[in-house]
Structure 1
């Protein structure tokens, strides 16, 4: 499965990665590569927990256009 993730850096330089389609699925790392590897593990674990709890695996996400 493929998932979109967001990548950001906090004020301390730590890379924060989040999977918007899975509520609460967030990870981090000292490097971008480390953070991306960590989110792969987090996604797998979040999907497993959601399945065990009988929750939908993901939420619907959409790309929308906003006039600026």
Structure 2
């Protein structure tokens, strides 16, 4: 899954995974924002699997752009 990363005007970083609607996270650094959004998406995917909902293939890896 591709992680889209941008720096806000106030200096914070925002990371988003467009393949999972609503999956975005802020961090003080680029790496922190990426780590937070990756953890969020893993929780979302685990929740989907636990509830028998469709989820993307888990063999895919995150890639920061």
TM-score for both structures, normalised by structure 2? 0.70
- Displacement, 1:53? 4.8
Aligned length: 56
Higher radius of gyration, 1 or 2:
1
TM-score for both structures, normalised by structure 1? 0.67
CA contact (8 A) 1:22 1:57 kept: no
Please give the root-mean-square deviation of Cα atoms over the aligned residues, in Å. 1.5
Task: Return the structure number with greater strand share.
Answer: 2
Matches within 5 A, 1:16-31: 16-31=14-29
Bigger RCO of structures 1 and 2 (CA < 8 A, at least 6 apart): 2
- Displacement, 1:7? 0.4
**Structure 2 unpaired stretches of 5+:** 57-65
Structure 1 residue runs of 4+, over 2 Å off? Answer: 48-58
**Structure 1 unpaired stretches of 5+:** 59-68
